[in-house]
Structure 1
Protein backbone atom coordinates (compact mmCIF):
# COMPACT_ATOMS: atom_id res chain seq x y z
CA UNK A 1 0.00 0.00 0.00
CA UNK A 2 1.39 3.43 -0.98
CA UNK A 3 0.77 5.05 2.39
CA UNK A 4 2.74 2.32 4.17
CA UNK A 5 5.68 2.95 1.85
CA UNK A 6 5.47 6.67 2.57
CA UNK A 7 5.56 6.17 6.34
CA UNK A 8 8.42 3.70 6.02
CA UNK A 9 10.43 6.25 4.06
CA UNK A 10 9.79 9.03 6.56
CA UNK A 11 10.50 6.80 9.56
CA UNK A 12 13.66 5.43 7.98
CA UNK A 13 14.93 8.89 7.18
CA UNK A 14 14.37 10.03 10.74
CA UNK A 15 16.02 6.95 12.18
CA UNK A 16 19.09 7.61 10.05
CA UNK A 17 18.99 11.36 10.79
CA UNK A 18 19.03 11.94 7.04
CA UNK A 19 15.54 13.46 6.98
CA UNK A 20 15.65 13.80 3.20
CA UNK A 21 12.21 12.55 2.13
CA UNK A 22 10.32 13.36 -1.08
CA UNK A 23 7.95 16.33 -1.30
CA UNK A 24 5.14 13.83 -1.84
CA UNK A 25 5.17 13.34 1.91
CA UNK A 26 3.41 16.66 2.48
CA UNK A 27 -0.33 16.86 3.22
CA UNK A 28 -2.43 14.28 1.39
CA UNK A 29 -5.78 12.57 1.86
CA UNK A 30 -8.38 10.29 0.32
CA UNK A 31 -11.96 10.05 1.63
CA UNK A 32 -13.34 11.17 4.97
CA UNK A 33 -10.56 10.16 7.40
CA UNK A 34 -9.69 12.87 9.92
CA UNK A 35 -7.14 13.45 12.69
CA UNK A 36 -8.14 15.78 15.54
CA UNK A 37 -7.65 16.58 19.24
CA UNK A 38 -3.86 16.26 19.07
CA UNK A 39 -2.25 16.73 22.51
CA UNK A 40 1.51 16.62 23.09
CA UNK A 41 2.94 16.08 26.59
CA UNK A 42 -0.38 16.83 28.25
CA UNK A 43 -0.47 20.26 26.61
CA UNK A 44 2.74 21.41 28.31
CA UNK A 45 6.09 22.34 26.82
CA UNK A 46 8.67 19.55 26.83
CA UNK A 47 11.54 20.63 29.10
CA UNK A 48 14.71 18.53 29.06
CA UNK A 49 17.75 18.72 31.33
CA UNK A 50 21.36 18.30 30.16
CA UNK A 51 21.56 14.49 30.23
CA UNK A 52 18.34 12.64 31.09
CA UNK A 53 16.11 11.32 28.31
CA UNK A 54 12.61 12.78 28.24
CA UNK A 55 9.53 10.66 27.56
CA UNK A 56 6.83 12.40 25.54
CA UNK A 57 3.29 11.12 24.95
CA UNK A 58 1.14 12.20 22.00
CA UNK A 59 -2.60 11.46 21.85
CA UNK A 60 -5.00 12.12 18.98
CA UNK A 61 -8.40 11.13 17.66
CA UNK A 62 -8.98 9.35 14.33
CA UNK A 63 -12.42 9.36 12.72
CA UNK A 64 -13.72 7.66 9.56
CA UNK A 65 -17.10 6.18 8.64
CA UNK A 66 -15.51 2.72 8.34
CA UNK A 67 -13.40 3.00 11.49
CA UNK A 68 -9.64 3.38 11.97
CA UNK A 69 -7.24 0.68 10.81
CA UNK A 70 -3.90 2.13 12.00
CA UNK A 71 -2.16 5.44 12.64
CA UNK A 72 1.29 6.84 13.25
CA UNK A 73 2.81 10.09 14.51
CA UNK A 74 6.36 11.40 14.15
CA UNK A 75 7.96 14.34 15.97
CA UNK A 76 10.35 16.60 14.13
CA UNK A 77 12.15 19.96 14.20
CA UNK A 78 12.38 22.08 11.08
CA UNK A 79 10.22 23.90 8.52
CA UNK A 80 8.71 20.65 7.23
CA UNK A 81 9.23 16.93 7.63
CA UNK A 82 11.17 16.94 4.34
CA UNK A 83 13.57 19.59 5.68
CA UNK A 84 13.83 18.38 9.28
CA UNK A 85 17.18 18.45 11.05
CA UNK A 86 16.18 16.05 13.84
CA UNK A 87 13.16 14.17 15.12
CA UNK A 88 11.79 11.06 16.82
CA UNK A 89 9.76 8.04 15.79
CA UNK A 90 7.54 6.28 18.32
CA UNK A 91 9.04 3.86 20.85
CA UNK A 92 6.72 1.03 19.72
CA UNK A 93 8.35 -1.82 17.81
CA UNK A 94 6.60 -0.91 14.55
CA UNK A 95 6.49 2.85 15.15
CA UNK A 96 2.70 2.86 15.01
CA UNK A 97 0.34 4.37 17.56
CA UNK A 98 -1.79 2.27 19.87
CA UNK A 99 -5.38 2.97 18.85
CA UNK A 100 -8.36 2.18 21.05
CA UNK A 101 -11.83 2.00 19.51
CA UNK A 102 -14.32 4.46 21.02
CA UNK A 103 -17.20 3.61 18.69
CA UNK A 104 -17.77 2.44 15.09
CA UNK A 105 -16.26 5.60 13.59
CA UNK A 106 -13.86 6.96 16.21
CA UNK A 107 -10.64 5.76 17.87
CA UNK A 108 -8.25 7.35 20.35
CA UNK A 109 -4.58 6.83 19.46
CA UNK A 110 -1.48 7.17 21.65
CA UNK A 111 2.24 7.17 20.88
CA UNK A 112 5.23 7.45 23.23
CA UNK A 113 8.51 9.04 22.16
CA UNK A 114 11.97 9.48 23.65
CA UNK A 115 13.87 12.76 23.29
CA UNK A 116 17.47 12.49 24.44
CA UNK A 117 20.27 15.06 24.75
CA UNK A 118 23.23 14.49 22.42
CA UNK A 119 21.10 12.08 20.37
CA UNK A 120 18.03 13.74 18.87
CA UNK A 121 18.21 16.88 21.02
CA UNK A 122 20.78 19.48 19.99
CA UNK A 123 21.00 23.03 21.27
CA UNK A 124 19.94 24.36 17.88
CA UNK A 125 16.78 22.24 17.94
CA UNK A 126 15.35 23.94 21.04
CA UNK A 127 12.14 25.79 20.25
CA UNK A 128 9.18 24.82 18.09
CA UNK A 129 8.72 21.17 17.08
CA UNK A 130 5.90 19.68 15.01
CA UNK A 131 3.88 16.48 14.76
CA UNK A 132 3.67 14.68 11.39
CA UNK A 133 0.81 12.18 11.40
CA UNK A 134 -1.00 9.68 9.22
CA UNK A 135 -4.21 7.70 9.79
CA UNK A 136 -5.57 4.92 7.59
CA UNK A 137 -9.17 3.69 7.71
CA UNK A 138 -10.51 0.17 7.22
CA UNK A 139 -11.84 1.17 3.78
CA UNK A 140 -8.30 2.36 2.81
CA UNK A 141 -9.20 6.03 3.04
CA UNK A 142 -6.42 8.00 4.73
CA UNK A 143 -5.20 11.42 5.82
CA UNK A 144 -1.58 12.52 6.07
CA UNK A 145 -0.59 15.85 7.67
CA UNK A 146 2.84 17.47 7.75
CA UNK A 147 1.97 19.44 10.89
CA UNK A 148 -1.09 18.49 12.95
CA UNK A 149 0.33 20.14 16.07
CA UNK A 150 3.18 22.44 17.07
CA UNK A 151 4.76 22.33 20.52
CA UNK A 152 7.80 23.63 22.42
CA UNK A 153 10.90 21.66 23.33
CA UNK A 154 13.01 23.68 25.77
CA UNK A 155 16.37 23.60 27.55
CA UNK A 156 15.82 23.35 31.33
CA UNK A 157 16.82 26.46 33.31
CA UNK A 158 18.23 27.07 36.79
CA UNK A 159 18.32 30.38 38.65
CA UNK A 160 20.08 31.17 41.93
CA UNK A 161 20.18 34.20 44.25
CA UNK A 162 22.21 35.39 47.23
CA UNK A 163 21.56 38.65 49.11
CA UNK A 164 24.20 39.94 51.56
CA UNK A 165 25.16 41.04 54.11
CA UNK A 166 22.78 39.29 56.50
CA UNK A 167 21.74 40.87 58.84
CA UNK A 168 22.02 44.46 57.62
CA UNK A 169 21.20 47.87 59.05
CA UNK A 170 18.25 49.74 57.55
CA UNK A 171 19.37 52.05 54.75
CA UNK A 172 22.60 50.20 54.08
CA UNK A 173 23.42 48.63 50.71
CA UNK A 174 22.50 45.03 49.96
CA UNK A 175 24.35 43.26 47.17
CA UNK A 176 22.30 40.66 45.31
CA UNK A 177 24.06 38.12 43.11
CA UNK A 178 22.93 35.05 41.22
CA UNK A 179 23.24 33.04 38.03
CA UNK A 180 20.93 32.02 35.21
CA UNK A 181 21.98 28.80 33.50
CA UNK A 182 20.35 26.36 31.13
CA UNK A 183 20.93 22.85 29.88
CA UNK A 184 23.53 22.38 27.17
CA UNK A 185 22.35 19.24 25.37
CA UNK A 186 25.67 18.80 23.62
CA UNK A 187 28.03 18.96 26.62
CA UNK A 188 25.68 17.34 29.14
CA UNK A 189 26.06 20.25 31.59
CA UNK A 190 24.38 23.49 32.58
CA UNK A 191 25.89 26.66 31.10
CA UNK A 192 25.32 30.37 31.74
CA UNK A 193 22.56 32.01 29.69
CA UNK A 194 24.03 35.29 28.50
CA UNK A 195 22.38 38.64 27.80
CA UNK A 196 19.02 37.80 29.38
CA UNK A 197 16.78 40.22 31.27
CA UNK A 198 16.00 39.02 34.79
CA UNK A 199 13.83 40.76 37.38
CA UNK A 200 14.99 41.33 40.94
CA UNK A 201 11.95 40.94 43.17
CA UNK A 202 11.26 41.52 46.87
CA UNK A 203 8.66 40.11 49.25
CA UNK A 204 8.18 41.60 52.71
CA UNK A 205 8.25 39.14 55.58
CA UNK A 206 4.55 39.78 56.25
CA UNK A 207 3.52 39.43 52.58
CA UNK A 208 2.95 36.53 50.22
CA UNK A 209 3.49 38.56 47.04
CA UNK A 210 6.71 39.49 45.26
CA UNK A 211 7.07 42.91 43.62
CA UNK A 212 9.67 43.83 41.01
CA UNK A 213 12.44 46.14 42.21
CA UNK A 214 14.47 46.41 39.00
CA UNK A 215 15.56 44.49 35.89
CA UNK A 216 19.13 43.19 35.49
CA UNK A 217 20.86 41.53 32.54
CA UNK A 218 23.04 38.45 32.78
CA UNK A 219 26.68 38.87 31.78
CA UNK A 220 28.73 36.72 29.40
CA UNK A 221 28.73 33.81 31.87
CA UNK A 222 25.10 34.13 32.97
CA UNK A 223 25.95 35.85 36.26
CA UNK A 224 23.80 38.56 37.84
CA UNK A 225 24.82 41.33 40.23
CA UNK A 226 23.02 44.43 41.51
CA UNK A 227 22.49 46.49 44.68
CA UNK A 228 19.49 47.78 46.63
CA UNK A 229 18.96 49.73 49.85
CA UNK A 230 17.84 47.76 52.89
CA UNK A 231 14.33 48.83 53.84
CA UNK A 232 12.55 45.97 55.62
CA UNK A 233 12.83 42.31 56.56
CA UNK A 234 12.02 40.10 53.61
CA UNK A 235 13.02 37.86 50.74
CA UNK A 236 14.89 38.70 47.54
CA UNK A 237 14.73 36.56 44.43
CA UNK A 238 15.51 36.71 40.72
CA UNK A 239 12.73 35.89 38.25
CA UNK A 240 13.27 34.94 34.60
CA UNK A 241 10.27 35.14 32.24
CA UNK A 242 11.66 32.56 29.80
CA UNK A 243 12.20 32.51 26.03
CA UNK A 244 11.01 30.30 23.19
CA UNK A 245 13.92 27.93 23.84
CA UNK A 246 14.11 28.12 27.65
CA UNK A 247 11.30 28.00 30.26
CA UNK A 248 10.64 30.55 32.97
CA UNK A 249 12.53 30.14 36.25
CA UNK A 250 12.37 31.69 39.71
CA UNK A 251 15.10 31.54 42.32
CA UNK A 252 14.13 30.51 45.84
CA UNK A 253 13.81 33.66 47.97
CA UNK A 254 16.82 34.62 50.12
CA UNK A 255 15.81 36.17 53.44
CA UNK A 256 17.48 39.32 54.70
CA UNK A 257 17.09 40.50 58.30
CA UNK A 258 17.01 44.32 58.40
CA UNK A 259 17.76 45.89 61.78
Structure 2
Protein backbone atom coordinates (compact mmCIF):
# COMPACT_ATOMS: atom_id res chain seq x y z
CA UNK A 1 0.00 0.00 0.00
CA UNK A 2 2.85 2.40 0.86
CA UNK A 3 4.51 1.59 -2.51
CA UNK A 4 1.25 2.45 -4.35
CA UNK A 5 0.86 5.77 -2.55
CA UNK A 6 4.47 6.63 -3.38
CA UNK A 7 3.84 5.88 -7.06
CA UNK A 8 0.70 8.02 -7.12
CA UNK A 9 2.61 10.89 -5.48
CA UNK A 10 5.29 10.73 -8.22
CA UNK A 11 2.64 10.85 -10.96
CA UNK A 12 0.97 13.85 -9.29
CA UNK A 13 4.23 15.79 -9.08
CA UNK A 14 5.03 15.08 -12.76
CA UNK A 15 1.57 16.25 -13.84
CA UNK A 16 1.95 19.44 -11.83
CA UNK A 17 5.24 20.22 -13.57
CA UNK A 18 3.65 19.70 -16.98
CA UNK A 19 0.83 22.10 -16.12
CA UNK A 20 3.26 24.72 -14.80
CA UNK A 21 5.66 24.52 -17.77
CA UNK A 22 3.81 26.94 -20.14
CA UNK A 23 4.06 29.71 -17.55
CA UNK A 24 7.86 29.79 -17.85
CA UNK A 25 8.88 32.98 -19.69
CA UNK A 26 9.87 32.46 -23.30
CA UNK A 27 8.90 28.75 -23.36
CA UNK A 28 6.75 26.87 -25.83
CA UNK A 29 5.76 23.27 -25.15
CA UNK A 30 5.87 22.49 -28.89
CA UNK A 31 8.86 24.42 -30.27
CA UNK A 32 11.05 25.22 -27.28
CA UNK A 33 12.27 28.72 -26.28
CA UNK A 34 11.04 31.58 -28.49
CA UNK A 35 13.89 33.58 -30.15
CA UNK A 36 13.75 37.18 -29.00
CA UNK A 37 13.76 39.97 -31.62
CA UNK A 38 17.12 41.81 -31.80
CA UNK A 39 16.99 45.09 -29.93
CA UNK A 40 18.01 48.43 -31.45
CA UNK A 41 21.67 48.95 -30.40
CA UNK A 42 21.29 52.71 -29.99
CA UNK A 43 17.94 54.47 -30.63
CA UNK A 44 19.79 57.80 -30.91
CA UNK A 45 22.19 56.61 -33.65
CA UNK A 46 20.09 54.72 -36.17
CA UNK A 47 21.58 56.20 -39.37
CA UNK A 48 24.77 54.71 -40.81
CA UNK A 49 26.86 57.87 -41.25
CA UNK A 50 29.58 56.19 -43.34
CA UNK A 51 27.15 54.85 -45.95
CA UNK A 52 25.05 58.04 -46.13
CA UNK A 53 27.32 60.18 -48.28
CA UNK A 54 26.93 63.65 -49.87
CA UNK A 55 25.69 63.85 -53.46
CA UNK A 56 26.78 66.14 -56.30
CA UNK A 57 24.41 67.28 -59.04
CA UNK A 58 25.72 69.03 -62.17
CA UNK A 59 23.11 71.13 -63.97
CA UNK A 60 23.39 72.61 -67.45
CA UNK A 61 20.98 74.91 -69.25
CA UNK A 62 18.32 72.57 -70.66
CA UNK A 63 17.75 69.29 -68.86
CA UNK A 64 16.37 68.54 -65.41
CA UNK A 65 18.75 66.61 -63.17
CA UNK A 66 17.87 64.63 -60.05
CA UNK A 67 19.47 64.83 -56.64
CA UNK A 68 19.38 61.25 -55.37
CA UNK A 69 18.65 61.13 -51.64
CA UNK A 70 19.93 57.97 -49.91
CA UNK A 71 19.96 57.12 -46.23
CA UNK A 72 20.86 53.81 -44.54
CA UNK A 73 19.29 52.89 -41.19
CA UNK A 74 19.91 50.03 -38.74
CA UNK A 75 17.30 47.37 -39.56
CA UNK A 76 17.08 46.32 -35.90
CA UNK A 77 15.74 49.78 -35.05
CA UNK A 78 12.55 49.09 -37.05
CA UNK A 79 12.40 52.39 -38.92
CA UNK A 80 8.88 53.09 -40.16
CA UNK A 81 9.40 56.51 -41.74
CA UNK A 82 12.28 58.43 -43.35
CA UNK A 83 12.46 61.87 -44.93
CA UNK A 84 14.90 64.49 -46.15
CA UNK A 85 14.87 68.29 -46.03
CA UNK A 86 17.04 69.98 -48.67
CA UNK A 87 18.07 73.50 -47.69
CA UNK A 88 18.46 75.29 -51.04
CA UNK A 89 19.63 78.94 -51.03
CA UNK A 90 16.18 80.41 -51.66
CA UNK A 91 13.83 77.78 -50.21
CA UNK A 92 13.62 74.38 -48.51
CA UNK A 93 12.39 71.17 -50.11
CA UNK A 94 10.89 68.28 -48.13
CA UNK A 95 11.12 64.80 -49.66
CA UNK A 96 9.51 61.63 -48.30
CA UNK A 97 11.77 58.59 -48.70
CA UNK A 98 10.74 55.03 -49.56
CA UNK A 99 12.31 51.83 -48.28
CA UNK A 100 13.84 50.03 -51.27
CA UNK A 101 15.65 47.12 -49.61
CA UNK A 102 17.77 45.74 -46.78
CA UNK A 103 21.47 44.88 -47.13
CA UNK A 104 23.83 43.61 -44.41
CA UNK A 105 21.48 44.57 -41.61
CA UNK A 106 20.72 48.08 -42.89
CA UNK A 107 17.50 49.36 -44.46
CA UNK A 108 17.99 51.46 -47.59
CA UNK A 109 15.63 54.44 -47.88
CA UNK A 110 15.66 56.50 -51.08
CA UNK A 111 14.03 59.43 -52.82
CA UNK A 112 14.97 62.17 -55.26
CA UNK A 113 14.61 65.89 -55.86
CA UNK A 114 14.31 67.25 -59.43
CA UNK A 115 16.60 70.22 -60.09
CA UNK A 116 15.46 72.27 -63.09
CA UNK A 117 17.73 74.86 -64.75
CA UNK A 118 14.85 77.26 -65.40
CA UNK A 119 14.11 77.50 -61.66
CA UNK A 120 17.72 78.33 -60.74
CA UNK A 121 19.83 81.47 -60.48
CA UNK A 122 23.63 81.49 -60.68
CA UNK A 123 23.71 82.36 -56.97
CA UNK A 124 22.01 79.03 -56.20
CA UNK A 125 25.18 77.09 -57.08
CA UNK A 126 27.10 75.55 -54.20
CA UNK A 127 26.25 73.61 -51.07
CA UNK A 128 22.68 72.54 -50.38
CA UNK A 129 22.71 71.12 -46.81
CA UNK A 130 20.45 68.08 -46.62
CA UNK A 131 19.08 66.70 -43.35
CA UNK A 132 17.89 63.09 -43.19
CA UNK A 133 15.45 62.07 -40.44
CA UNK A 134 14.35 58.55 -39.53
CA UNK A 135 11.69 57.40 -37.05
CA UNK A 136 11.68 53.94 -35.48
CA UNK A 137 12.79 52.66 -32.09
CA UNK A 138 14.04 56.21 -31.72
CA UNK A 139 14.55 59.35 -33.80
CA UNK A 140 17.84 60.12 -35.56
CA UNK A 141 18.97 62.92 -37.88
CA UNK A 142 22.03 63.44 -40.05
CA UNK A 143 22.98 66.48 -42.17
CA UNK A 144 25.25 66.11 -45.22
CA UNK A 145 26.58 68.73 -47.64
CA UNK A 146 25.04 67.97 -51.02
CA UNK A 147 26.18 70.20 -53.89
CA UNK A 148 24.45 71.63 -56.95
CA UNK A 149 27.02 72.82 -59.49
CA UNK A 150 26.92 74.71 -62.77
CA UNK A 151 27.98 72.57 -65.73
CA UNK A 152 31.08 73.52 -67.71
CA UNK A 153 32.51 72.49 -71.07
CA UNK A 154 35.94 72.76 -72.65
CA UNK A 155 37.08 72.59 -76.27
CA UNK A 156 40.69 71.72 -77.03
CA UNK A 157 42.97 71.46 -80.02
CA UNK A 158 46.65 70.55 -80.14
CA UNK A 159 48.49 71.06 -83.43
CA UNK A 160 49.43 71.32 -86.15
CA UNK A 161 49.47 67.67 -87.10
CA UNK A 162 52.10 66.80 -88.14
CA UNK A 163 54.19 69.21 -86.06
CA UNK A 164 56.22 71.82 -87.96
CA UNK A 165 59.36 73.61 -86.74
CA UNK A 166 59.24 71.65 -83.46
CA UNK A 167 56.42 73.87 -82.18
CA UNK A 168 52.96 72.94 -80.88
CA UNK A 169 49.97 75.17 -80.12
CA UNK A 170 47.19 74.46 -77.64
CA UNK A 171 43.95 76.36 -78.09
CA UNK A 172 40.28 76.19 -77.20
CA UNK A 173 37.46 77.70 -75.18
CA UNK A 174 36.06 77.24 -71.68
CA UNK A 175 32.39 77.90 -70.96
CA UNK A 176 30.02 77.34 -68.06
CA UNK A 177 26.25 77.26 -67.73
CA UNK A 178 24.52 80.51 -66.84
CA UNK A 179 21.22 79.72 -65.13
CA UNK A 180 20.29 83.39 -65.35
CA UNK A 181 20.24 83.37 -69.16
CA UNK A 182 20.03 79.59 -69.80
CA UNK A 183 23.09 79.82 -72.06
CA UNK A 184 26.74 78.77 -71.88
CA UNK A 185 29.05 81.77 -71.47
CA UNK A 186 32.82 82.14 -71.63
CA UNK A 187 34.66 81.66 -68.32
CA UNK A 188 37.58 84.02 -67.88
CA UNK A 189 40.69 83.68 -65.71
CA UNK A 190 40.76 79.90 -65.28
CA UNK A 191 43.88 77.75 -65.67
CA UNK A 192 43.69 75.01 -68.29
CA UNK A 193 45.95 72.07 -67.51
CA UNK A 194 47.33 70.37 -70.62
CA UNK A 195 48.63 66.83 -70.08
CA UNK A 196 50.64 64.67 -72.48
CA UNK A 197 50.31 60.88 -72.36
CA UNK A 198 53.44 59.49 -74.07
CA UNK A 199 53.03 56.38 -76.17
CA UNK A 200 56.63 55.13 -76.09
CA UNK A 201 57.11 54.81 -72.30
CA UNK A 202 53.57 55.06 -70.96
CA UNK A 203 54.22 58.08 -68.73
CA UNK A 204 52.29 61.34 -68.55
CA UNK A 205 53.10 64.89 -67.49
CA UNK A 206 51.56 68.33 -67.42
CA UNK A 207 53.13 70.27 -70.27
CA UNK A 208 51.28 73.58 -70.27
CA UNK A 209 48.90 75.73 -68.22
CA UNK A 210 47.35 78.51 -70.32
CA UNK A 211 44.85 80.88 -68.66
CA UNK A 212 41.53 81.68 -70.29
CA UNK A 213 41.06 85.23 -71.58
CA UNK A 214 38.00 87.33 -72.26
CA UNK A 215 35.25 85.15 -73.66
CA UNK A 216 36.88 82.03 -72.18
CA UNK A 217 39.35 81.46 -75.02
CA UNK A 218 42.96 80.34 -74.54
CA UNK A 219 46.00 79.83 -76.78
CA UNK A 220 49.59 78.89 -76.04
CA UNK A 221 52.52 77.85 -78.26
CA UNK A 222 55.64 76.06 -77.03
CA UNK A 223 58.40 73.67 -78.04
CA UNK A 224 56.98 70.26 -78.97
CA UNK A 225 57.34 67.85 -76.01
CA UNK A 226 57.03 64.75 -78.18
CA UNK A 227 54.56 62.38 -79.79
CA UNK A 228 51.66 61.87 -77.40
CA UNK A 229 47.95 61.96 -76.68
CA UNK A 230 47.15 65.48 -75.43
CA UNK A 231 44.29 66.25 -73.09
CA UNK A 232 43.05 69.39 -71.26
CA UNK A 233 41.03 69.87 -68.10
CA UNK A 234 39.94 72.60 -65.69
CA UNK A 235 39.52 71.99 -61.96
CA UNK A 236 36.20 72.16 -60.15
CA UNK A 237 35.29 75.12 -57.96
CA UNK A 238 32.78 75.41 -55.12
CA UNK A 239 30.09 76.44 -57.63
CA UNK A 240 31.11 74.94 -61.00
CA UNK A 241 31.90 71.37 -62.08
CA UNK A 242 35.24 70.37 -63.56
CA UNK A 243 35.65 70.39 -67.34
CA UNK A 244 37.45 67.77 -69.45
CA UNK A 245 38.31 67.93 -73.14
CA UNK A 246 38.57 65.28 -75.79
CA UNK A 247 42.00 63.75 -76.46
CA UNK A 248 44.07 65.00 -79.41
CA UNK A 249 46.89 62.88 -80.89
CA UNK A 250 49.93 64.78 -82.17
CA UNK A 251 53.15 63.28 -83.55
Q: TM-score, normalised by structure 1?
A: 0.68
> Residues 75 and 107 of structure 2 are in contact (CA less than 8 Å); yes or no, is this contact kept in structure 1?
no
State the partner residue of 2:94. 89
User: Which consecutive segments of 4 or more residues in structure 1 shift more than 4 A?
Assistant: 63-66, 100-103
Q: How many corresponding residue pairs? A: 208
Change in CA separation of 1:206 and 1:160 when aligned onto 2, cut-off 3 Å: farther
Q: Which runs of 5+ in 1 are unaligned?
A: 1-30, 78-83, 91-95
State the partner residue of 2:86. 75
Q: Which runs of 5+ in 2 are unaligned?
A: 1-41
Q: Of residues 180, 183, 187 in structure 2, which corresponds to 1:189?
A: 183
Q: Of residues 37, 45, 48 in structure 2, which corresponds to 1:37?
A: 48
> Residues 178 and 225 of structure 1 are in contact (CA less than 8 Å); yes or no, is this contact kept in structure 2?
yes
State the partner residue of 1:52. 63
Q: Distance in 1 between matches of 2:233 and 2:189?
A: 14
Q: Report the CA distance between 1:200 and its aligned residue.
A: 2.1
Q: Distance in 2 between matches of 1:87 and 1:122?
A: 15
Q: CA-atom RMSD, angstroms?
A: 3.0
State the partner residue of 1:61. 72
> Residues 72 and 106 of structure 2 are in contact (CA less than 8 Å); yes or no, is this contact kept in structure 1?
yes
Q: Distance in 2 between matches of 1:110 and 1:126?
A: 23
Alignment map for 1:165-176 (pairs within 5 Å): 165-171=160-166, 173-176=167-170
Change in CA separation of 1:69 and 1:231 when aligned onto 2, cut-off 3 Å: closer
Change in CA separation of 1:225 and 1:46 when aligned onto 2, cut-off 3 Å: same
Q: Distance in 2 between matches of 1:128 and 1:70?
A: 26
Q: Distance in 1 between matches of 2:132 and 2:54?
A: 17
Q: Distance in 1 between matches of 2:217 and 2:139?
A: 53
Q: TM-score, normalised by structure 2?
A: 0.69
State the partner residue of 1:20. none
**Bigger relative contact order (CA 8 A; separation at least 6):** 1
Q: Distance in 1 between matches of 2:202 and 2:135?
A: 54
State the partner residue of 1:109. 109
Larger Rg: 2
> Residues 155 and 246 of structure 1 are in contact (CA less than 8 Å); yes or no, is this contact kept in structure 2?
yes
The answer on 1:204 being equivalent to 2:172 is: no
Q: Per-residue displacement from partner, 1:11-64 (whole Å, max 9, x unpaired)?
A: xxxxxxxxxxxxxxxxxxxx9354523667x75522222221112221213459
Q: Distance in 2 between matches of 1:46 and 1:89?
A: 17
Q: Report the CA distance between 1:239 and its aligned residue.
A: 2.0
Q: Per-residue displacement from partner, 1:42-91 (whole Å, max 9, x unpaired)?
A: 755222222211122212134597632322102223xxxxxx4244333x
Q: Report the CA distance between 1:245 and its aligned residue.
A: 1.9
